[in-house]
Amino acid sequence: NAGVMQNPRHLVRRRGQEARLRCSPMKGHSHVYWYRQLPEEGLKFMVYLQKENIIDESGMPKERFSAEFPKEGPSILRIQQVVRGDSAAYFCASSLYTDTQYFGPGTRLTVL
């Protein structure tokens, strides 16, 4: 059973470009979570989704950030018009129910 998969693992963007981060949950998991980690810090919750629904987006910045988890395909975290402050590691997690969350390897976004 493959774990949570994220791609790309590393992403470099120039200021103003768009970044798309993908997450495929563990097989059978319908709960997906996105977190952001700045250097030397813990993870900060961004958004919680189930298939086709955003359940909790209380950690998402109001502008430029969006997330989706379509009926088919991976969950996508989209950042429009990236700025240097968006540089971070973005982690996706999935769970079968609402208990143990299993994390992917992360996408490290660098904004030049």
Partner 1 sequence: SQQGEEDPQALSIQEGENATMNCSYKTSINNLQWYRQNSGRGLVHLILIRSNEREKHSGRLRVTLDTSKKSSSLLITASRAADTASYFCATDGKGAQKLVFGQGTRLTINP
Identify whether the C-beta of residue 26 lies closer than 8 Å to the C-beta of residue 32: no
Q: How far apart are CA 80 and CA 26, in angstroms?
A: 27
Q: Does 25 bind partner 1 (CB under 8 A)?
A: no
| CB 16 to partner 1: min, Å | 27
Q: Does 35 bind partner 1 (CB under 8 A)?
A: yes
Per the DSSP assignment, residues forming a β-bridge with 12 are: 110
Is omega for the bond preceding 8 within 30 degrees of 0, making it cis?
yes
- Binder among 19, 43, 60, 109 for partner 1 (CB under 8 A): 43
Q: Does 24 bind partner 1 (CB under 8 A)?
A: no
Q: Does 65 bind partner 1 (CB under 8 A)?
A: no
Mask for 66-85, x = binds partner 1 (CB under 8 A): --------------------
- Binder among 91, 94, 109, 111 for partner 1 (CB under 8 A): 91
Per the DSSP assignment, residues forming a β-bridge with 63 are: none
CA 82, chain centre distance (Å): 15
**What is the three-class DSSP state of 10?**
strand
Identify whether the C-beta of residue 52 lies closer than 8 Å to the C-beta of residue 70: yes
Query: Can you give the binding site for partner 1, defined by CB under 8 A?
Result: 31, 33, 35, 41-45, 48, 55-56, 58-59, 91, 93, 95, 98-106, 108
